[in-house]
Every structure is written in C-alpha cells, then in structure tokens.
Structure 1
Amino acid sequence: MSMLMTTTPTVEGRPVRQYLGVVTSEAVMGTNLFSDFFASVRDIVGGRSGSYEQILRDAKSEAMAELAEQAGQLGADAIVGISLSHQVIGGDKKTMLVVLASGTAVRLG
C-alpha cells in the first residue's frame, strides 16, 4: 500500500485514528559549476533556470521519499500537514540546495 501524503491537516472522509509523531527529512543537493554559470547568465538576462529547477525537483522527491519511509517505519498509512521549504547554502557561490520536509505520521480510519 502506498503512503497517502498531503499538505492538509486531515483527509476528507478518513478520520485520523492515531497520531504517530512528527517525521522530518532533508535532502541536500550539490549543483555544479556548469549549472551555476548558466544560472548566473539567467540572473542577468532573465528567464528560468532549468538545471536548478531539476535539482530542486530531485531534492523534493528525495525528501518526500525519506518522509514516507520514516512514516512507514512508524506504521503509518498517511502523512498529514506536510510542509516543504528550501534553502540555498554556500554563500555567494550558491553551490548547495537544501529541501526540508516535515509532516505528521498518522493511521487513518
């Protein structure tokens, strides 16, 4: 059975039967010089940075998978109240992207 994951505090029609605790995960992804260079060009001329967008998508996927794994180890069938955030670390070089995820592992009725 797959893990039901939602940003809402409840699941319509499925009452929370048991709260199992908060689960958290972090995904830290390095960028490379090539991505950084083209992102700098995009800063000047405008537009989207596809390479950074892909790195953020990958980091989000990893963070969500880890969240589901932790909740599964607690016996949960869902995670409610998921919150996602991201940060760039590395000073002016902006070489690392971090995605943070948290939520509440629950068993639904």
Structure 2
Amino acid sequence: MDFSDKTLQGVLAWYSLIHIPPDEVPQALKEFARVLVPGGRLLIGFFEGSPGTPFQHAVTTAYYWSVEEMGHLLGNAGFDVLDIETRQDAGKRAHASVTATVR
C-alpha cells in the first residue's frame, strides 16, 4: 500500500480480499497492520466457507474463508479480533465480517 507506516486509523476491506489467492492473504493482512496506528481498526467482509476453497464469482475466481482461519491469519499479522458477525440468507452464500484492532 502506498502509505507510510502507522498513518491510518482504519482500513475497510469489504469483500476486497476474496479475489486474492489464499497464499497471498497473510501478506495483505500484514500490510494492513503496517499502515495502521496502534489500536487502529480493520473491518473485513468475506464469504464464509472452507478456507481457501475457490468458487466462480462475478469477475474472477474468489475464495472462501472460515471465521476461525481468518482469525488465525489476523492474529499472525498482529491483530486482535474484537467482533465477529455471520449471516446465512436462504439460497445464498454464507457471509462473515471480522473487526480487529492492530496491536
């Protein structure tokens, strides 16, 4: 990201990580942690499912993440999870969001 270290109060990644290949997501999360001030917030939205499982999405391949695995990845990147929300609408993919703060 084209931001200096510890300059942002928050990052919104609302379904923007779903198209990143699973092996690149940890680096993206570390980059979010780098640009956030201590205590800065991150909000991530994603489709919940078996971690790293691909599926066809509107533009290109997307990937599912479980709440547990995303929490693990966030912890490894320097975040503490504050809140988790999930929902399952009939006939739709399961959704999840995680709010975290950088240590």
TM-score, structure 1 as length reference: 0.35
TM-score by length of 2: 0.36
Greater helix percent: which structure?
1
